[in-house]
Structure 1
């Protein structure tokens, strides 16, 4: 738990340097993910535990979510969903305000990888070190400029790689994006 708090503290320090918005008519992607200097902030999701419904949680094999109390990102709320299996892993997710950008995420993580989720630009990354092999962070840029966020932290190292962790995080991210697009 101390490692997670330390990572979030470092991440928040890296992220607080700028803001971003998505203006109508601009392409989504790397260029649209750079801060524009516009000060209109779209708030993050206030009920992140409501982002995964029962069917989605069952598909991931997790229990009901619980709010994360130690979020190190200003104006962000995250939810934690723990595996139904002992030592099965933990997901965290939410929708961050538009003052955070994919460009910031690319700079904040080791070996960032661009991809797409439901047609939206996305990036995944590792925190590096031994913990990096057991975890993955993923972010997708929503049309309003906010970032859907999902991470996966393995409960045990058996059979776990960064690629497997990213697959699990991406699965949760797609579900969060689906929920947001249905609203």
Structure 2
């Protein structure tokens, strides 16, 4: 079975420059839950690797993050999908940790826990730091135009990676690519 790495905010759910601080603010992007269900049915294992600096900034606590993730997991399950795991970085940009994307610590933690070679594993994100973390470990980055994707494209118009309008379009490509 193949793994696919997903970012959370801007990939699965609507992003917010004010952060997703409570379950009520977690709103799935149209088609994203169906995309996860489709990939799950086709035998892919999905993991989420997400920066959550709102924890370090004091905007929400781990109990709130757990409630947000419980809502996300329930919505994914209801749609017929499954996530293997969620890895998050709780640090802020100034903390100098190894796990905050663009650093590859979350990718390495996932690889270690699951005994996975990250080389060419699809890693779906919407920000340049998602792409940088994937490149750092030899994964295969995919950019979505949702979330910060349009901004990422405007700042980096010459990206030579697959780019899709949303997670559902990326899922269809991944299924076709691995058929």
Q: More relative contact order in 1 or in 2 (CA 8 Å, sep 6+)?
A: 2
In the superposition, the TM-score normalised over structure 1's length comes to: 0.29
Greater per-residue helix proportion: 2
